[in-house]
A = this chain, B = another copy of it.
Amino acid sequence: MGIMSFDLKKYIAQKRKDIDEFINSYFNPSIIPSILHDSVLYSLTAGGKRLRPILCIASYEACDGNKNIVPYATAIEFIHTYSLIHDDLPAMDNDDLRRGKPTNHKVFGEGIAILAGDGLLTEAFTILANPEYADINPKTLLKVIYEISKAAGLRGMVAGQAYDLISEGKEPDEKIVEFIHVYKTAAMIKASVKSGAILAEVSEEKLHRLETYGHSIGLAFQIIDDILDIEGTTEEMGKPKGSDIERGKMTYPRVFGIENSKNQAKRLIEKALQEIEIFGEKAEPLREIAKFIITRTK
């Protein structure tokens, strides 16, 4: 594959197809109560970008991995989807719309939405604990489970969500907005990239570079999200524009101003690109994804 010929759209479409096929093959409606089955699939197939599993696969490929790790990558999407379902609940962000569709609890009720999230989170680990999907060394899979669960748990995404929740309406604070963004969003994006590298059993140096890449694009992703809440359109975003402001959310533009936030996102993407230079052509998907993050409109 020559650099000039790399087509991100095509790459993403192919990976999404693989991920969607795994999702559809995974659930057996005869065992799962049907309302729960419907609730889980509703959110899993609501048109997500599949950014995290695609990053995991792209990172794995950049490290010369050549097995089919789609099931493990998709486990990360299960965790991401659970976090969105719980995030949208009335007791959390109380959102009625997600990607232009009614949120899970609006369709299935709060009780089932809570359980669907719980189930997706748990099921991710059932997938990751199965070495047979791609004949992966058990020690390697344990490292992936450790990495992902730490990034998702009380010292990761859940901590970020808690700070996000308790900081609503508070005075702008640089340290707190940084904490929220690093833990709420960057931690899991970093873990997605790192998981691909761990699965490929890459060297410590390369792992560290991909870690920095993942952290940087993860933080940039959330900053751009904050900016889109101000500059995007409801149609593009699939949810009401300005909802962060209305809710008094601790966002980057609110703390640093919109121009500083844009510059910070740009610097982070540049740093990410620098870090993965040594991977050469094989990191082309990772490069294009980094550039996409800063130019996206939804």
Contact = CB atoms under 8 A, between A and B. Distances in A.
A111 interface: yes
A129 B124 CA distance: 14
Interface in A112-140: 112-115, 117-123, 125-126, 128-131, 137-139
B125 A149 contact: yes
Interface string A15-35: 000000000000110011101
Interface string A189-233: 000000000000000000000000000000000000000000000
A45 B109 CA distance: 31
Interface string A269-297: 00000000000000000000000000000
B92 A111 contact: yes
Given A125-B149, A163-B33, A91 B114 contact: yes
B91 A110 contact: yes
Contacts of A62: none
A129 B174 CA distance: 34
Q: Is the interface of A mostly helix, strand, loop or mixed?
A: helix
Contact of A146 (B31, B126, B150, B153): B126
Interface residues of A, number: 57
A84 interface: no
- Number of this chain's copies in the complex: 2
Interface string A89-111: 11110000000000000000111
A145 interface: yes
B119 A153 contact: yes
Given A125-B125, A129-B149, A145-B145, A154 B110 contact: no
Given A31-B159, A36-B159, A162-B33, A129 B115 contact: no
Contacts of A163: 33
A33 B115 contact: no
B121 A155 contact: no
B86 A114 contact: yes
B114 A154 contact: no
A168 to B, nearest CB: 10
5 contacts: A82-B118, A123-B149, A129-B142, A138-B142, A141-B142
Interface of A: 27-28, 31-33, 35-37, 40, 82, 86, 89-92, 109-115, 117-123, 125-126, 128-131, 137-139, 141-143, 145-146, 149-150, 152-156, 158-159, 161-163, 165-166
